[in-house]
Structure 1
Amino acid sequence: MSVLLTSTPSVENSIEIEIQILSMMEIVIHSTIDLFTSVGLKRTKGRAIVLKELERRKDHFNAEKLYSSLVQKGEGVSRPTIYRTLKILEKLCLIERFDIKKSCFYFEPLSWKKDHGHLICERCGKIIDFSSNGIEILKSEACKEKDFKLDKISIQIFGLCGDCQKASKKPITKH
């Protein structure tokens, strides 16, 4: 009889992986700062803080959410620094801006760039990424049919997320 031994990740392995991830994040941050200086922009502490925060984030964000997050962490970065840094990152094609409503826009890193759309909850504001083979088919067929050269595609679908749908189905209790 043979016994299959499976190894479980040790605490040491988990720590080592976390250190490797942090090291990779530092490389990305330093590379971005080097890119800033190569186009004539100064290295500033504020920009470095913003870059570090963006590298940690795994969600869509706007300038105000970013500012609030940094204030909660005690980081001394001004709103103008955040807005200017986001504008620079957008011009350098490191983040992409997408508009949700008039004068309400969010950003996401271009490292997420696989063609995808956004499901946007009109009640709570949650943004959910989705991708589908249908996006590729739509792009291909529409461009071929209309002899159109595609630059980028933006799909936004507005409605209610699952949580808000469930909340709206709950009976209202009177106190």
Structure 2
Amino acid sequence: MTELVTVWIPVAAVVISLASGAAAWVAVAYSRGQKDATERQADAAEAQVEYMRRQVELMETKATPGAIAVVDVRNRVAPWSVSHFRGDTYSLINGATQPVYDVVLEAPENSIHRGPYRWDRLDPRASVTFFLAFGFGGSGRQVTIRWKWDPEGAEESWTTAMPAKG
């Protein structure tokens, strides 16, 4: 009987240790997901602050003393920001307070992507992810975003360098 106890107690200890290790692994994976979500929210908030700063600058340059500032819609600031998401995936963020339409992301020729990237509508402060990897032979890391402020409006464009992986 004592031999049986001396065998089963260590086996039970190993099983409990393995279960504890598995629970710790699940907790680490969950916390990493939470960290990534927090970073995405922080990136979106920074993009919104930058967009609002540019809007205020534009309104201040258009305002006349004693008059209400009216912003010409043809001089709107591009609402976009691009941030690294994970691996070769990036987020395109609409920092505007209104939806945009017919959004197209044009990737550089030297890139590997899963496009074409087209969205009929992106809601205010919404983000979409896209895959974009760069080959060794090219030097361009510029992407161009084309969109319309309203479905029947004129097409706008904005070009930016892709952010570094963080």
TM-score category, normalised to shorter length: 0.3 to 0.5
- Normalising by structure 1, report the TM-score: 0.32
**Larger of the two Rg values belongs to structure:** 2
Q: Give the number of the structure whose residues are more often helix, by fraction.
A: 1
Q: Give the number of the structure whose residues are more often strand, by fraction.
A: 2
- Normalising by structure 2, report the TM-score: 0.33
